[in-house]
Amino acid sequence: SRVTTQDQLEYEYIVVGSGAGGGPLACRLAMAGHKTLLIEAGNDQNGNINITVPGYQAVVTNDPKLRWDIFVNHYQDQTRARRDPKFSYEVAPYKYYVGPDPPFGATPLGILYPRAGTLGGCVTHNALILITPHASDWDGIATITGDNSWAATNMDQYLDKSVMGVQPDPTISALTGLAGTLLVDPNSRLNPNRDSTQGFFQIPLIMKDGARKAVRDFIAATVKGGYNLTVRENCHVTNITFDTSGSKPKATGVNFLDGKYLYRASPLSGDQGTPGSATASKEVLISGGAFNTPQLLKLSGIGPFAELKSFDIPVIADLPGVGLNMQDRYEIPVNVKHGTDFNVLNGCTFDGKPDDACLTKWENNPYFLAQRGAYATNGLAGAMAVHSNYASTTDIDLFIFGGPVDFTGYFPDWNDASLADHKHFSWYTLKAHTRNTAGTVQLRSADPLDTPIINFNYFDTGTTAGGADTLDLNAMIQAVNTSREALRKYADYAILGGDAFVEEEPGPDVQSNEDIGQYIKDRAWGHHASCTAAIGADGDPNAVLDSQFRVRGVQGLRVVDASVFPRIPGVFIQAPIFMVSEKAADVILNGETT
């Protein structure tokens, strides 16, 4: 019966979400001897080749068994939003049309933002790139909060704990001549000026012996190790429960729905699930990611008063900052097409078809990274770190990746399009330290299985104070010009073994800075959404968390995931989230508790 179930589900800690933030945290709590429940909406994809082969980092984002299709708005103005050829429509349940001139009756959705509902979260489908954040990212949190445990010098210890095996991308050795010209390690801690060092780098990947190995494997090993960790997969948390009898509401546990693929972002959804609940005698820790954490807080009565009231959700704590302050990077490509295929990709179908010779090679050489071939990489050959003319600090603010793909951002079936032939090469830019803090996550309805409404409010529709939007745009324009310059040099040396090429994106017609700027505004994308339940100073009305991850206005509740950052950190985001996860475990186990 329901009562028996409830009686059985008593834990010290409940962690909701098993990704970069929640996974390591739950493991550390259990390893310290605490009875811990880790709840995950998705399930364990152990044995699914799509998650283990690094070369399948595109196809895995399209795997219905783990993917969550979230559609977002870069601009709320629909005319402007539809200038992006990636703008998508629904023509039948989970069947999409991409681009202008949709069929009659198609429902506009926006821009696809891939997410993973699976054990290990987005770390189980991401591109494996592990770049550590800049010292200024941590020092900034220390300055905002006055909590010096956030200083970069102190945060270093969590990097040591969290890095579970990082190797340089061996594509490089397969591409003749380039290896010797690269600064090997963009994470080097031997270089005191690492954060401001420009140049060409190899790309560090979080994997072991050429296979993805990360949070999912850490969780599995912790369970296997006999620690007191229970993983409840196929379980969607619908709200946090509170004891409101005292002066401050105290989180006591969660309500959930058991069932496979319940969230409507999953193309396999349809079931309603079976209700249940669990209690936490110590704390509830929310790690649902930058979109789901604010959604879950709001569904639980923690958020902006007026929004909660409009959905008849009883208010537990009026925190206006929940779902505000969302940030991301801007990304943009320069893509060229060669006359002939890149030899290094010969035999690679990138989808596990029976004739996928590259998969055979990967499978037959399990112990020798160098012999596993193209699939032991994420397909990207190298990166340029650049300090643009528009950076606010001495830190590099552009990371420009190159590889033999045709990548123009995310849209339904982007994986097929990006690897349809082996003739394309793409340099694509990530803008770090973006200044736009105007993104929002709002409830669509009070139904926990609905996705929220997500507005990024790009460029001039977002933060404009101090010319923020123009500075970010100008840095991106510089990145396009730098990528074109790199392509001209690579043509001179034929260094990657390619022959003559023509530029397809942005294309020969897009030359003036004004035209490049318009191209960027129309087509930029991001995939490091963050900062939606941010740590902030005491007295800041928009601060959702204090410096110890505690949700303000309540007891026994913390957030630990991409949502916690006041400003988007570093160049890539999983390393900072791993570090935050380790710090949270340390604070909970050794610090003050609520």
Binding residues are: 237
CA distance 312 to 296: 15
Cβ nearer to ligand FAD, comparing 455 with 478: 455
Q: Does 62 bind ligand FAD (CB under 6 A)?
A: no
Q: With CB under 6 A as the contact rule, which of the stretches 38-46, 76-84, 381-389, 424-432 interacts with ligand FAD?
A: 38-46
CA distance 520 to 524: 5
CA distance 110 to 105: 15
Q: Does 556 bind ligand FAD (CB under 6 A)?
A: no
Q: Does 111 bind ligand FAD (CB under 6 A)?
A: no
Q: Does 20 bind ligand FAD (CB under 6 A)?
A: yes
Chain centroid to CA 408: 17
Closest alpha carbon to 426 in 334, 488, 513, 360: 334
CA distance 110 to 108: 6
Q: Does 557 bind ligand FAD (CB under 6 A)?
A: no
Tell me how many residues contact ligand FAD (CB under 6 A).
Answer: 39
Q: Does 16 bind ligand FAD (CB under 6 A)?
A: yes
Q: Does 237 bind ligand FAD (CB under 6 A)?
A: yes
Q: Number of helices (H) and strands (E) in the chain: give both, helices first.
A: 15, 24
Q: Which of residues 140-159 bind ligand FAD (CB under 6 A)?
A: none
CA distance 16 to 296: 10
Binding-site residue numbers for FAD are 237
From candidates 121, 294, 462, 536, binder to ligand FAD by CB under 6 A: 121
From candidates 45, 50, 52, 61, binder to ligand FAD by CB under 6 A: 61
| Alpha-carbon dihedral angle through residues 484, 480, 114, 74, given to the nearest 10 degrees | -150
Q: Does 522 bind ligand FAD (CB under 6 A)?
A: no
Chain centroid to CA 250: 30
Q: With CB under 6 A as the contact rule, which of the stretches 14-22, 325-333, 400-408, 417-425 interacts with ligand FAD?
A: 14-22
Where in 135-225 does DSSP place strands (E)? Answer: 166-168, 199-201, 204-208, 211-212
Answer for the pair 196, 517: CB distance below 8 angstroms, yes or no: no
Crossing angle for the helix pair 513-523 and 468-493, to the nearest 10 degrees: 110
Cβ nearer to ligand FAD, comparing 284 with 477: 284
From candidates 338, 528, 567, 583, binder to ligand FAD by CB under 6 A: 528
Q: Mark residues 567-586: x for contact with ligand FAD by CB under 6 A, - for none.
A: -----xxx--x---------
Answer for the pair 381, 171: CB distance below 8 angstroms, yes or no: yes
Q: Which of residues 443-462 bind ligand FAD (CB under 6 A)?
A: none
Helix (H) or strand (E) holding 123: none
Q: Which residue is nearest to ligand FAD (CB)?
A: 19
Q: With CB under 6 A as the contact rule, which of the stretches 116-124, 157-165, 399-407, 543-551 interacts with ligand FAD?
A: 116-124
Answer for the pair 543, 536: CB distance below 8 angstroms, yes or no: yes
From candidates 52, 62, 126, 461, binder to ligand FAD by CB under 6 A: 126
Q: Does 201 bind ligand FAD (CB under 6 A)?
A: no
Helix (H) or strand (E) holding 15: strand 10-16
Q: With CB under 6 A as the contact rule, which of the stretches 109-117, 271-279, 423-431, 533-541 interacts with ligand FAD?
A: 109-117
What amino acid is encoded at 14 in this protein?
A: I
- Edge-first strand order for the sheet with 204-208 is 166-168, 204-208, 211-212
Q: Which of residues 281-340 bind ligand FAD (CB under 6 A)?
A: 287-290, 292, 296
Q: Does 39 bind ligand FAD (CB under 6 A)?
A: yes
Residues that bind ligand FAD (CB under 6 A): 16-22, 39-42, 61, 114-115, 117-118, 121-123, 126-129, 236-237, 287-290, 292, 296, 527-528, 561-562, 572-574, 577
